[in-house]
């Protein structure tokens, strides 16, 4: 199998593989961490709260820079996406744990989540009828190209994250087989940097797609208002 996943147990007739089990584990850890960090917030924060607030503020600033007028609406989704993918990418550093993002089905699910979210935010912002009309702009002839573009960028999101994480894990394994424990620290640092970079790229592309859907509608609405 391309993803290297295998069945751990069954829920009725549904087989639960390592990718699903690892994903559930990551979600449980993130929910528990969020609860522990936020249950006793203080005006005189400790190092854990300072770190958490720094992460939140950094992500919010990045979202606001791309989508200043709608940042509060989009921020929860993008922040969750960034944090989950970052942790999932780094999970392969744990011995005997396979990163879910090295599984094609997992990256496809994330890409589909972005695909539906783009349309959700667009429809929520402008209404169904007005949102669908932008696929006919500037000419109805371009409708097939708009539709093809939606699917190709979703496919690109899927393959990009899967390919990079799978190749990173394979490279790390090959180096460890050849070099043993002589070069673990440089390899570990490379893995961490690459994992965080891939999470950032995926989340930023998702943000740009959402911003494109919303801002294109906003710009056309502004032009119509100016013409009036």
Q: Which of 161, 163, 166, 66 is nearest to 110 (CA)?
A: 161
Pair of tokens at residue 147: 């539709």
Query: Among the residues of the chain, which ranges form H helices?
Result: 18-38, 47-66, 71-90, 104-126, 128-133, 143-179, 184-227
pLDDT on residue 158? 92
- Comparing 184 with 50, the larger pLDDT belongs to 50
pLDDT on residue 167? 83
pLDDT on residue 18? 84
pLDDT on residue 133? 79
Q: What is the mean pLDDT of the chain?
A: 83
Quick one: pLDDT band at residue 97, thresholds 50, 70, 90? confident
Tell whether the model's pLDDT for residue 150 goes beyond 50: yes
Sign of CA dihedral 22, 23, 28, 30: positive
> Are the CB atoms for 195 and 168 separated by under 8 Å?
yes
Across the range 202-206, mean pLDDT stands at 93
Quick one: pLDDT band at residue 223, thresholds 50, 70, 90? very low
What does the pLDDT look like over 178-203, one tens digit per residue?
Answer: 766 565 667 778 788 888 999 999 99
């Amino acid at each position: 199998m391309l993803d290297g996943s295998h069945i751990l147990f069954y829920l009725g007739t549904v087989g639960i593989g390592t990718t699903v089990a690892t994903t559930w584990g990551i979600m449980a850890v993130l929910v528990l961490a969020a609860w522990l960090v936020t249950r006793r917030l203080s005006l005189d924060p400790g190092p854990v709260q300072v770190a958490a607030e720094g992460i939140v503020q950094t992500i919010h600033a990045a979202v606001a820079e791309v989508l200043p007028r709608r940042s509060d609406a989009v921020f929860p989704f993008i922040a969750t996406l960034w944090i989950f993918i970052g942790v999932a990418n780094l999970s392969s550093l744990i011995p005997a744990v396979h990163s879910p993002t090295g599984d094609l089905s997992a990256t496809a699910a994330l890409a589909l989540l972005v695909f539906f979210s783009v349309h959700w935010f667009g429809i929520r912002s402008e209404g169904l009828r007005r949102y669908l009309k932008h696929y006919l702009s500037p000419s109805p002839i371009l409708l097939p190209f708009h539709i093809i573009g939606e699917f190709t960028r979703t496919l690109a999101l899927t393959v990009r994250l899967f390919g990079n994480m799978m190749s990173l894990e394979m490279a790390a394994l090959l180096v460890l087989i050849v070099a043993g424990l002589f070069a673990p620290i440089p390899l570990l640092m490379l893995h961490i940097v690459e994992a965080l970079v891939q999470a950032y790229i995926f989340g930023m592309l998702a943000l740009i797609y959402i911003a494109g859907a919303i801002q294109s509608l906003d710009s056309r609405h502004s032009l119509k208002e100016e013409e009036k």
